[in-house]
């Protein structure tokens, strides 16, 4: 991402008064050569539900991984630069997802190298640009544009920016349950 994203975290002082505990540029960022043109920025994660209001002031002290914590959530932006189809042909999706602890989520022999099945329920809002969400069958592919909202429930999919401008999507991923590997 060109410009860093400001992240403000609130909390309470010892008397219960609302305060700002941090106000800085988000630093939990993953950008890698195995998935060129894609940058993930995590803002917050939770580890239980319901979420305690008096939890830690910082929850992102470990590496950035794809899925949310067990019984938890993660809030992130993902920036997708326009794809180059010739470069895509040379990329290894399993290696790219291994860098996020999710090599097992890649589906082999698919029409896009980053086709994967999440084991989370995801809320997504396209903040900027547009993108194709590729599904199992081409006729089911969707073009999502700025302002569109998606609720994704453990689906096999790939994100493909086939357009001329950067796409940014805000995601909230929630730990899911069920046998998604049966399909």
Q: Spell out the per-residue pLDDT of the chain, length 183, in tens.
A: 557 999 999 999 999 999 999 999 999 999 999 999 999 999 999 999 999 888 889 999 889 999 999 999 999 999 999 999 999 999 999 999 999 999 999 988 889 999 998 889 999 999 999 999 999 999 999 999 999 999 999 999 999 999 999 999 999 999 998 776 665
Number of domains present in the structure of the chain: 1
In a domain, 128, yes or no: yes
Distance CA 91, CA 98 (A): 13
Distance CA 94, CA 31 (A): 16
Distance CA 124, CA 172 (A): 7
In a domain, 127, yes or no: yes
User: What range defines the domain where residue 43 resides?
Assistant: 27-182
| Pair of tokens at residue 75 | 């809030």
In a domain, 103, yes or no: yes
pTM: 0.93
In a domain, 137, yes or no: yes
């Amino acid at each position: 991402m060109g410009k860093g994203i400001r992240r403000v975290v609130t909390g309470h002082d010892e008397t219960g008064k609302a305060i700002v505990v941090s106000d800085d540029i988000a630093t939990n960022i993953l950008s890698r050569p195995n998935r060129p043109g894609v940058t993930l920025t995590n803002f917050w994660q939770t580890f239980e539900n319901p979420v305690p209001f008096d939890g830690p002031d910082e929850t992102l002290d470990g590496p950035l991984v794809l899925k949310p914590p067990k019984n938890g959530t993660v809030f992130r932006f993902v920036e997708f630069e326009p794809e180059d189809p010739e470069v895509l042909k040379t990329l290894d999706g399993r290696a790219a997802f291994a860098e996020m602890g999710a090599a097992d989520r890649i589906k082999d022999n698919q029409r896009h190298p980053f086709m994967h099945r999440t084991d989370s329920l995801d809320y997504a809002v396209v903040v900027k640009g547009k993108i194709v969400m590729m599904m199992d069958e081409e006729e089911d592919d969707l073009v999502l544009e700025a302002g569109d909202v998606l609720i994704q429930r453990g689906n096999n999919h790939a994100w493909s920016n086939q357009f001329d401008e950067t796409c940014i999507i805000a995601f909230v991923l929630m730990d899911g349950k069920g046998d998604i590997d049966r399909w």
